[in-house]
Amino acid sequence: MISFAPSKEQKMVKDSFAQVVRDLVTPAAHDMDEAGEIPADIIQKTWELGASISYVPEAFGGDGMEYSPVLNAIALEELAFGDMAFAVAATAPSLFITPLLDFGTEKQKKKYLPTVCKDQYCVSTLAVTEPFLGFDVTSMKTTAEKKNGSYVLNGTKCFVPMAGRAQDILVAAMDEGRPQLFVVSAKNPGISISEREKNLGLYALETHKVTLENCEVPAGDRLGEAEGVNFSRIMQKTRVGLSAMATGIARASYELARKYAREREQFGEFIGQRQAVAFMVAEMAYETDSMRLLTWKAASMLENGKDAAREAALARMYAGEMSMKICDYGVQVMGGHGYIRDYPMERNYRNARGVAIWDAMATV
Partner 1 sequence: MINLDTPDVILKVKTAMNGLAASLLRPVARKYDEAEHEYPTELDVFRGLNVMGGPKKKKDKAEGGEKDKKDKKDRMGTNLGTVVTVEEMCWGDAGLMLSIPNAGLGNAAISAVATEEQKERFGNKWAAMAITEAASGSDSGSISTTAELDGDEWVLNGEKIFVTCADRCDAVVVWATLDKEAGKRGIKSFVVEKGTPGFTLAHLEHKLGIRASDTGTFVLNNCRIPKGNILGSAEIKKTTEGFKGVMKTFDNTRPMVAAMSLGIARAALDFTREKLDEAGVALDYETNPNNQSSMQKDYLWMEANLEAMRLLTWRAAWMADNETSNSLEASMCKAKAGRYGTLITLKCAEILGPLGISREYLAEKWMRDSKIMDIFEGTGQIQHLIIARSVLKMSSKELK
Q: Quick one: DSSP state of residue 214?
A: E
Instruction: Report 183-242 residues binding partner 1 (CB under 8 A).
Output: 232, 235
CB of 164 to partner 1, least distance (A): 27
CB of 143 to partner 1, least distance (A): 19
Q: Does 122 bind partner 1 (CB under 8 A)?
A: no
Binding-site size, partner 1 (CB under 8 A): 57
Instruction: Report 15-54 residues binding partner 1 (CB under 8 A).
Output: none
Please say which residue, 262 or 341, places its beta carbon nearer to partner 1. Answer: 262
Whole-angstrom distance, CA of residue 319 vs CA of residue 72? 16
Nearest to 1 by CA among 304, 291, 240: 304
Whole-angstrom distance, CA of residue 312 vs CA of residue 229? 18
The DSSP element (H or E) to which 151 belongs, if any, is: strand 150-161
Cα angle 128, 248, 139; round to 5: 20
Choose the binding region for partner 1 from 17-25, 78-86, 204-212, 284-292 (rule: CB under 8 A): 284-292
Please say which residue, 208 or 239, places its beta carbon nearer to partner 1. Answer: 239
CB of 199 to partner 1, least distance (A): 19
Whole-angstrom distance, CA of residue 135 vs CA of residue 61? 36
Return the residue of 210, 223, 360, 364 that touches partner 1, per CB under 8 A: 360
**212 forms bridges with which residues in the sheet?**
155, 191
Return the residue of 150, 154, 167, 273 that touches partner 1, per CB under 8 A: 273
**Strand runs labelled E in 254-306:** 265-266, 269-270
| Ranges of H-type helices in 84-230 | 84-103, 106-116
Return the residue of 111, 141, 297, 350 that touches partner 1, per CB under 8 A: 297
CB of 278 to partner 1, least distance (A): 4
Reduced to 3 states, what is the DSSP secondary structure of residue 253? helix
Reduced to 3 states, what is the DSSP secondary structure of residue 124? coil
> Residues in the site for partner 1, rule: CB under 8 A?
1-7, 9-10, 70, 74, 134-139, 232, 235, 258, 261-262, 270, 272-273, 275, 278-279, 281-283, 285-287, 289-290, 293-294, 296-297, 300-301, 303-304, 306, 309-315, 317-318, 321, 359-360
